[in-house]
Amino acid sequence: MTKILEFITELIGWFQIVISPFLIGLFIGAVIYFTMQGTLGLVLGIGITSLGLLIGIIFATRVWKKKGTVNFMSRVSASPELDNLEDEKTKK
């Protein structure tokens, strides 16, 4: 049971890592499509969006194999300001 829950949390972390490059690619692809409406703009927009998705999948899979996605996400979202909060209270 714990392996299933661990897998589910890793999978959620994987999706969180994938979504960031995908959204960047989607935004750039949408800008290109709306500035160059037509077949070329559509192909370039889809291509850049797909490239963002592919980069996200590759990066998330590498992180999952090396450290684990939950570990990576917790390190990324850690607040360095809160790490030294107790030290500042003792100095006052």
Could you tell me which of 6, 5, 49 has the C-alpha nearest to residue 26?
Answer: 49
Q: pLDDT digits over 63-74, tens only?
A: 989 988 888 888
43 pLDDT more than 90: yes
25 pLDDT more than 80: yes
Residue 33's pLDDT band, with cuts at 50, 70 and 90, is: very high
16 pLDDT more than 70: yes
Q: What is the 3-state secondary structure (H, E, C) of the chain?
A: CHHHHHHHHHHHHHHHHHHHHHHHHHHHHHHHHHHCCCHHHHHHHHHHHHHHHHHHHHHHHHHHHHCCHHHHHHHHCCCHHHHCHHHHHHHC
Q: Which residue has the tokens 């949408």?
A: 30
Q: What is the pLDDT of residue 79?
A: 66
Q: What is the pLDDT of residue 34?
A: 93
Which pTM value belongs to this model? 0.75
